[in-house]
Amino acid sequence: MSDVTIRSLDPDEYNTALELVLHVFMRFQADAFLSEGVETFRRFVEPGHMLPLIDSGIMFFRGAFDDGRLVGVIATRGFAHISLLFVHPSDHRRGIATLLVEEIMRVAKEKAFTEVSVNASSYAIPFYRRLGFVEQDIEKEEDGIRYTPMALQII
């Protein structure tokens, strides 16, 4: 893998990050959701909804950059709940998502959290299991979004 850098996003990079998130969601996950869920997700990642959450310190974004190009995005609610994790399709299977989750684990540990949680889509469950996340409950559905609550203990 070439040198991938993980860092917090600059304010002028948020729109590009949200476009990447929506593009990857529509390509790989939207088919598994009812139309209500797709619309719920679209509204969630609209800049008009997301930017105030970032500005108020509710959501934190980090990006993976390869030669200056944004190739992956992770967003957390607070420091220990993964809300979004998406990697550009041309960069799948390069370990970028793992690097992004490892960064969140590092930050959560630094902030004295004991676990990191995620509401994983069915598409993402095998990935999170490989990292050691464990299902906390059965699949749930809320506003058309299906997810399985998972968590990983921080050692």
What's this model's pTM, rounded to 2 decimal places? 0.92
Q: Measured between alpha carbons, how far is 13 from 17 in angstroms, rounded to an integer?
A: 6
Using DSSP's 3-state secondary structure scheme, residue 67 falls into coil
CB-facing half-sphere around the CA of 71: CA atoms within 13 A: 24
pLDDT of residue 1: 46
Q: Measured between alpha carbons, how far is 154 from 81 in angstroms, rounded to an integer?
A: 13
Residue 141: count other Cβ atoms within 10 Å of its Cβ.
12
**Homologous superfamily of 4-153:** Gcn5-related N-acetyltransferase (GNAT) (3.40.630.30)
Q: Measured between alpha carbons, how far is 98 from 93 in angstroms, rounded to an integer?
A: 10
Using DSSP's 3-state secondary structure scheme, residue 37 falls into helix
- DSSP secondary structure, 41-65, as one string: HHHHHSHHHHHHHHHTTSEEEEEEE
pLDDT of residue 140: 93
pLDDT at 119 over 70: yes
Q: Measured between alpha carbons, how far is 85 from 61 in angstroms, rounded to an integer?
A: 10
- pLDDT digits 0-9 by tens, 57-97: 999 999 999 999 999 999 999 889 999 999 998 888 889 99
- pLDDT digits 0-9 by tens, 7-60: 999 999 999 999 999 999 998 888 878 899 999 999 999 999 999 999 999 999
Secondary structure letter of residue 9 according to DSSP = P
Q: Measured between alpha carbons, how far is 144 from 152 in angstroms, rounded to an integer?
A: 25
pLDDT at 2 over 70: no
